[in-house]
Structures are given as structure tokens and as C-alpha cells.
Structure 1
């Protein structure tokens, strides 16, 4: 049986290398430049934690719906497939720039719409309302909901989500959840604090190639490992 530590380390490494420079990484960075950081961090991280738990539950349930042998083979193919995908992105060097441009265009349109609406109300009145509003309800503001929804739906069907499902089907689910949540927390915090400058300092080619190699290694390990009955 896979250990918690093994599931944790695999999930942590996979999450960090998959999320740096990802669409949701840039979304968190751009939102944090325009809105209170704590609300953006809380919204984005909440969505990623929910997504991680859902993915692990699907991966954990898969062997009970499909034979262990088939889930193991599917997971192995997923790792090799994602490895080749990441290596291709690394060599073509197109992924990150396109994702940043796409996220910025979408959020710019939302930002202009929000700014036009905000001009109709007084800033002093907004500050007064915020002071009167209970502390907990501030986290369920439109800013929180926007950060949560953009992150949740941006991550749905993403490579890292599918990889988490595959990892949970083959490793200890608790370790995968723990590693995934800590990895997401590290990446999201880095994005909120200074995501765009951090992404510009880290070579996107290095991140993509490192992720590709990691997935290939996971695939080889899964291929060579024995299948539990």
C-alpha cells in the first residue's frame, strides 16, 4: 500500500510545478493588484482546496468503480501523456505568454465594467459600509466570489486536476490531499504577493521541462510498480 509520505511528496511536487505560470496563477496575481490581497488569497485558495478535495475523492472512488488494474494503467498513461505535453510546451515556449495575455484580457474587461459601476457610488460611503459590515461577511463579498469562481472554473478540467485524480487513484488519498493543498497554498500565496514579477524571473521553459520530467518519472515508477489486487 502506498504510504502517506509518498502520496504527499508526489502531490506537492506535481502541484507546485503544474501551478507556477498556470492560468489560475496569473489570475490570482492580477486580481491581487486590483483588490485586497487577503480576499483574493482566500477566494483563490478556497477554490483550489475544494477542487483538490473533489479531485482526490474522484480518484479514490475510481478503483471501486473500475478494476484496480485499469485505473493503474490509465494513471500510468496520464503521467506519460502529461509529461510529453509539458515537454512540448517547454520546447515550443508558447504556453505561458498566451495564458497571461488571455487572463489579462478577460480580467481587464471585467475590471472596466466594475470600475464603471463603482463610479456611481461614493468612496466614503463604501468605506463606511465596509466598517459596519461584520468581519466574516467581508470574505463573502463580490471580490471573494469573483476570485473563487475564476479559479474554480479555470482549474476545472485542467492538466493538474486530471493529474491529481490519477495520482489519488494510485497513491494514498490523504497524502495526495495534504500535498496538493500545501502546494496550492504556496503557489497561490506567491502569486498574490508578487506573481507577475515572480513569473518573469522564473524561466517558463525550465518550469515546463521540470514538470515534464517529473510526470515521466511518475509514469515510469507507475509502470514498474506492482498492481494491488
Structure 2
């Protein structure tokens, strides 16, 4: 494992997920169920989603270098545009059906897994993770960094709850994340030009 790649994945994924539906879906689940099984279910869903994204990015890296860096640049530019445009919109909150009290821990974890696994498809963090896996030849490091960031966000939501959601400067976080995406897109464009001219 490479610590710099782990840190890069963590730093890129964390601000993307803070104002995202992930935080609010975890928060809503934690208001209905015991926090620990919610966290276990959410963490397992994130682990599987990150593994899928890393696998997709690693497969992408088998293509020619110029094509890979071009696709990575597009992924990050699209992510930057989406984040910037959504900076002033309200938080994305998942609305969940009311559930019965006294549900078993296993069932709570399974419900949490299902909700978050479905909610994360095509999410910006998944695109970023796939892009990082394609850019770096360190799938395990990308996995660890991205999964750690997602666990931090879900842990904050589950254990700190609504207090955290009310205090997050969502527009600022989204703009910072958009800036990070632009930086990674610029690096990918430079790599594309080098691969085409080299």
C-alpha cells in the first residue's frame, strides 16, 4: 500500500460525501434504529461499492494510457460541474418509510446495507474512486482511502446526527470538492497530452 495514494483517495472522497445523500440517509436510518447496526450495514455497503468502483477503474487502466487519462479527465470534470452547480441547493435527504421499533440488529444492518448500496450507484464518490483506480496502479490503496472516507462520513452521521447536518457549510464544502475535482482533471489532461505527444 502507498500512503500518498490512500491520503489522496481519502481527501478527494471525504468532501464529496459530506453534503451528499449518504450522510443524510445514514442520519435518517440512525434516528429510526440503533446506531451500531446501522453503521455496520452502511459500512458493508460502502465496502462493496468501493470494491466495484476500484475494479471498474482497474479494468479501465488496461486501455491505452492516453484513452485512460482522457476518460479520467472527463470523469473529474463532470464531477466538478455537478458539485459546483449543486453548491447552493439544499442537502440531499433520503426519505425512508417508517419502520417498526424493536427490529433485530441483523435486520437493521441488512436494511441499512440495502438503502446505502442502492443510493450509491453512480454517485460522485464512486466516479472519483474509479478515476483514482484508473490513474494510479494501486487498487488496494485507493480502496482503503475511499472506504475510510466513506466510513468517517457515515460514522459522523450515525453517531453525531442532526447537529452535524445543521452546522455543515454545504455550499463551501461542495465548492472545495469541485475545486479538487478540477485539479485532478487538469493533471489527467496533462497526462493525456504527454501520452499523445510522447
Question: TM-score normalised to the size of structure 1?
Answer: 0.78
What does 1:2-151 correspond to in 2, within 5 Å?
A: 4-64=2-62, 66-90=63-87, 93-96=88-91, 99-100=92-93, 103=94, 106-107=95-96, 110-111=97-98, 114-115=99-100, 138=105, 141-151=106-116
2: CA distance between counterparts of 1:95 and 1:80?
22
Which of residues 198, 201, 225 in structure 1 aligns to 2:167?
201
- Runs of 4+ in structure 1 deviating by more than 3 angstroms, as ranges, are 225-229
Q: Structure 2 vs 1, CA of residues 84 and 23 (structure 1 numbering), >3 Å: closer, same or farther? A: same
Using the TM superposition, give the Cα deviation of residue 79 of structure 1 relative to its aligned residue in structure 2, in angstroms: 1.0
- The unaligned stretches of length 5 or more in structure 2 are none
* Structure 1 position 227, deviation (Å): 4.1
Q: CA deviation at 1:173?
A: 1.5
Q: Secondary structure at the match of 1:21?
A: coil
CA distance in 2, matches of 1:145, 1:180: 22
Cα contact 1:25–1:195 (8 A) shared by 2: no
The structure whose residues are more often helix, as a share, is: 1
Query: Residue deviations 1:17-55, cap 9 Å, x none?
Result: 111121121111111111111100000011001110111
Root mean square deviation of aligned Cα: 2.1
Q: For this pair of structures, how many residues does the alignment match?
A: 194
